[in-house]
Amino acid sequence: MGEKSWRPITCKDGHSPESEGLFKGGVLYYAADLYSDSTRVIMSFNVGSEDFSVIELPKGVDFSSLGWNLVNYKGNIALSSCDDYDNGDLQIWVRKMGVWLSKSIKIPSWKENVEGLKFYFRGTIGTGELVFT
């Protein structure tokens, strides 16, 4: 008999998923709370190797608060949050080569174009254009 098509996979870092997942390059990323100390982290699961990894959040990022999203930013995983809806200030932490880099983007004329509506950054598309909902 061959391998079972469905089987449990054990992660040595017990955790509870706390966000929607982001699938990129054969790896699933999602926010999670570790059972050991309730620390919020980003978990990665490599579908091919079936390995889990823990990615610590950048210092000062409270992903448990509302407004943070896990997104694909120009081919890298990133965390995004709007600092100021009125002025269109978007804060992004991009993970490149194992390091979190901070980036601020000012969305020009946001208040004039959409009035007081909140926006949610969803990531970038192939041309590098920013996508909002």
**Residues 65-85 pLDDT 10s:** 667 889 999 999 999 887 666
Residues 124 and 69 reside in one and the same domain: yes
pLDDT at 90 (0 to 100): 84
Residues 47 and 94 reside in one and the same domain: no
Residues 108 and 91 reside in one and the same domain: yes
Tell me the per-residue pLDDT of 16-66, one tens digit each, with 9 for 90 and over. Answer: 999 889 999 999 999 999 999 988 999 999 999 999 999 999 988 877 766
pLDDT at 2 (0 to 100): 60
Q: Is residue 4 part of a domain?
A: no
Q: Which domain holds residue 23?
A: 11-56
| Mean pLDDT, residues 98-109 taken together | 85
Q: For residue 70, which of 90, 86, 48, 92 has the smallest C-alpha distance?
A: 92
End-to-end C-alpha distance for the chain, whole angstroms: 48
| Mean pLDDT, residues 112-117 taken together | 69
58 secondary structure, DSSP code? P
Residues 84 and 99 reside in one and the same domain: yes
Residue 104, pLDDT above cutoff 70: yes
pLDDT at 3 (0 to 100): 66
Q: Is residue 3 part of a domain?
A: no
Residues 114 and 125 reside in one and the same domain: yes
Q: Is residue 68 part of a domain?
A: yes
Residue 95, pLDDT above cutoff 90: yes
Residues 63 and 51 reside in one and the same domain: no
- Stronger pLDDT, 22 or 131, i.e. the higher one: 22
Q: Is residue 105 part of a domain?
A: yes
Residues 48 and 69 reside in one and the same domain: no
Residues 67 and 125 reside in one and the same domain: yes
Q: Is residue 43 part of a domain?
A: yes
Residues 52 and 63 reside in one and the same domain: no
pLDDT at 86 (0 to 100): 66
Query: Any idea what the Cα angle at residue 132 is, between residues 18 and 103, rounded to 5°?
Result: 75
Count structural domains, the chain.
2
pLDDT at 116 (0 to 100): 65
